[in-house]
Amino acid sequence: MKKIFLILFLFFSILLAQENIQHLDQKLDELHNSLSYNTWVVKYNNFNIYKKTQDEILSLEKESLKANERNKNIIERQILILKERLGLLSEYKSTNFTKMVLAPEEVEKMEKITNPLAIVSAYSHIKKIRRDKEEYINLLNSFKQTLQELEKENILIAEIAKLDPTKEHNEHLKNSNQMVKDFTQTLRFGEISYSVYEKKIQEEIDRTTASIKIQGVRAFNIVLAIIIVIAMAFLLKFIARKYIGDNDRFYTANKIINFININVIVLILLFGYIENISYLVTVLGFASAGLAIAMKDMFMSMLGWCVIVFGGSFRVGDRVKVFQNNTHYIGDIIDISFLRITLYEDISLLTYTDNRRAGRIIFIPNNFIFTNLISNYTHHGMKTIWDGLDITLTFDSNHQKALEIVEEIVVKASKGYTKIAKESMNKLRNEYSIRNPKVEPRLFTFLEGYGIRISVWYMTNSYAALVLRSNISKEIINEFNKYDDIKIAYPSQNLYMAKHKFIEDKEDI
């Protein structure tokens, strides 16, 4: 009876063990299926396949040395197939699975921040390395979860091998143990690497944040300095407007203030963001030498601007005459910029006699003051200029009476301008040595080939010389027409024809 019970016990034990094995195999298959698509498991298997393939190639190469010709060809074909496999798995060409999988990338370091514009890039850099840190944490968590699944699988394989200790199960358990061991070591390496990686990231964040603060303070100081400079410029303009009544002088003062203001702001920016000033001076020295040759005219125009503004030879509002390319241009200065003088061409005697054009805007480079002739009709507050008118009388005219008439008309018409010219001339003599300051009208009489020429000169408005010339001409003509003994000479030709010659010619016809 005992034997029967023992046999029955063994039978039921075997049945129970088989049921347990089947149940464990089912759970193992489910777990294995879920792990078969796991990224980490796939990488691990591919890494092992790469190593095994390398070992197989080495083994076949040794075998090829001893094989005969026929077997050697077969082995070489096998080696080629295995090398193709290695090519497909080249990304797993590493000596250590641990470093290949969980070795963190080097923390990207940002270059030193040297200007406020780089602050935006600095914040983007901090955001990026924080995102890299989060990605590495997710990577570790994913790997840790995979290890937990592998440990569950290992426990199931161990139970199966214990219930059914076959060679296949033991081999499977051995591989599972090795896999769990490798993943455990890799996870430890990843955790240690993360602690170091985290410290490096924090150091980089702290360094970048400190640079941002430094640049922020520097930018604030520079902006504050620029605001102060601009405020001082507005204050100087307000003072200039209050104490300078002349609009032309105020315009020049305004230009000078703007020029100084811009240069001061540029210097603030340079000294604020250029750390090696000596290097800057050296670079600017070489650059200036090259630019001075390549951009000679522009630099000469800028130098000309300094001469014009600080020398006082020309001001906005002055009437000037410019000679260029055998052509004269007369106009009023409406602007003096760093590079050029802008003229508005007015109607003048020159436009009447030569150009027959007026109202054009003419641009004159500032460097023309060094090479070309520029005449100023209104220098140092002068508002009058000499203008002349020539009248030619016939030889039988009463030229003495004509002189008296012309003198009376001219003196009366230019009386106001003569007074203004005297006042301006007295001011001008304080700065210049003027030998002949007389400004009263002057009359001259000359003998010409076809008559007596009266040349009269008088002071007139610098901006409207044609108006007074026209009025004087009309009055002279009106007065001369009242006298029969005053005749204006002009080119003429007398034609004499013989009467008898005309009759002879008519008879011949």
Predicted confidence (pLDDT) per residue in 207-231, tens digit: 888 888 888 888 888 889 889 989 9
Do 141 and 128 fall into the same domain?
yes
Question: How far is the C-alpha of 172 from the C-alpha of 27, rounded, in Å?
Answer: 15
Q: Is residue 254 assigned to a domain?
A: no
> 3-state DSSP: the chain helix, strand, coil percent, rounded to 5?
70, 10, 20
Residue 331 · residue 343 · CB < 8 Å = yes
pLDDT for 290: 65
| pLDDT(504) > 60 | no
170 plus 207 within the same structural domain: yes
8 A C-beta contact, residue 333 and residue 342: yes
Domain total in the chain: 3
CA–CA separation, 27 vs 4, rounded Å?
34
Residue 156 sits in the same domain as residue 39: yes
Query: Is residue 374 situated within a structural domain?
Result: yes
Tell me what percent of the residues of the chain surpass a pLDDT of 90: 11
Check whether residue 450 and residue 486 sit in a common domain: yes
Q: What is the pLDDT of residues 452-466, one digit of tens each?
A: 999 999 999 888 888
Cα distances from 122 to residues 133, 136, 218, 265, 456, in angstroms, run 17, 21, 16, 26, 81
3-state secondary structure of 387: strand
pLDDT at 508: 37
* CB atoms near residue 34 (< 10 Å): 12
CA distance 410 to 474: 12
Question: Across residues 156-181, what is the average pLDDT?
Answer: 79
Report which of 280, 260, 261, 284 is spatially closest to residue 272, judged by C-alpha positions: 280
375/388 same-domain check: no
In a domain, 252, yes or no: no
Together in a domain, 389 and 374: no
Same domain, 100 and 165: yes
CATH number of the domain where residue 326 is located: 2.30.30.60
Whether 398 maps to a domain, the answer reads: yes
Query: Same domain, yes or no, for 41 and 190?
Result: yes
Given 162, 182, 214, which residue is the final one in a domain?
A: 214
274 or 319: whose pLDDT is higher?
A: 319
Sheet holding 451-461, edge to edge: 384-393, 451-461, 442-448
pLDDT: which is higher, 506 or 57: 57
CA distances from 72 to 34, 65, 68, 147 (A): 43, 8, 6, 44
CB-based contact 393:486 (threshold 8 Å): yes
- Domain for residue 224, yes or no? no
Predicted pLDDT at 217: 85
- For 267: left if phi > 0, alpha if psi spans -120 to 50, otherwise beta; the answer is alpha
Tell me the pLDDT of the chain averaged across its residues. Answer: 80
Q: What is the mean pLDDT of residues 316-340?
A: 84
The answer to whether residue 347 scores a pLDDT higher than 60 is yes
Of 348, 381, 414, the residue at which a domain comes to its end is 381
Averaged over 169-183, what is the pLDDT? 83
Q: Is the pLDDT of residue 92 over 80?
A: no
Same domain, residue pair 205 and 319: no
What band does 503 get if pLDDT is binned at 50, 70 and 90? very low
Q: For 415-426, what is the mean pLDDT?
A: 87
d(CA 415, CA 457): 13
Largest Cα span, the chain? 192
User: Both ends of the chain: CA-CA distance in Å?
Assistant: 185
Token duo for residue 403: 């002189």
**Structural domain includes residue 265:** no
Region 66-83: mean pLDDT is: 79
Tell whether 61 and 197 lie within a shared domain. yes
The domain containing residue 439 runs over which residues? 384-508
Tell whether 266 is covered by a domain.
Answer: no
Same-domain check for residues 335 and 396 = no
Last-in-domain residue among 166, 185, 214: 214
What are the tens digits of pLDDT across the range 425-446? Answer: 888 877 787 777 788 999 999 9
The per-residue DSSP string of 238-285 comes to HHHHHH---HHHHHHHHHHHHHHHHHHHHHHHHHHH-S-HHHHHHHHH
Contact present, 52 and 82 (Cβ < 8 Å): no
CATH number, domain of 499, equals: 3.30.70.100
Least-confidence region, from 234-238, 384-388, 503-507: 503-507
Same domain, 408 and 375: no
**Alpha-carbon gap, residue 179 to 174, rounded angstroms:** 9
Complete edge-to-edge strand list for the sheet that includes strand 319-324: 361-365, 340-345, 327-336, 319-324, 374-376
Query: Around 184, how many Cα atoms within 13 Å sit in the side-chain half-sphere?
Result: 9
Helix axes 399-413, 465-480, angle to 10 degrees: 140
10 within some domain: no
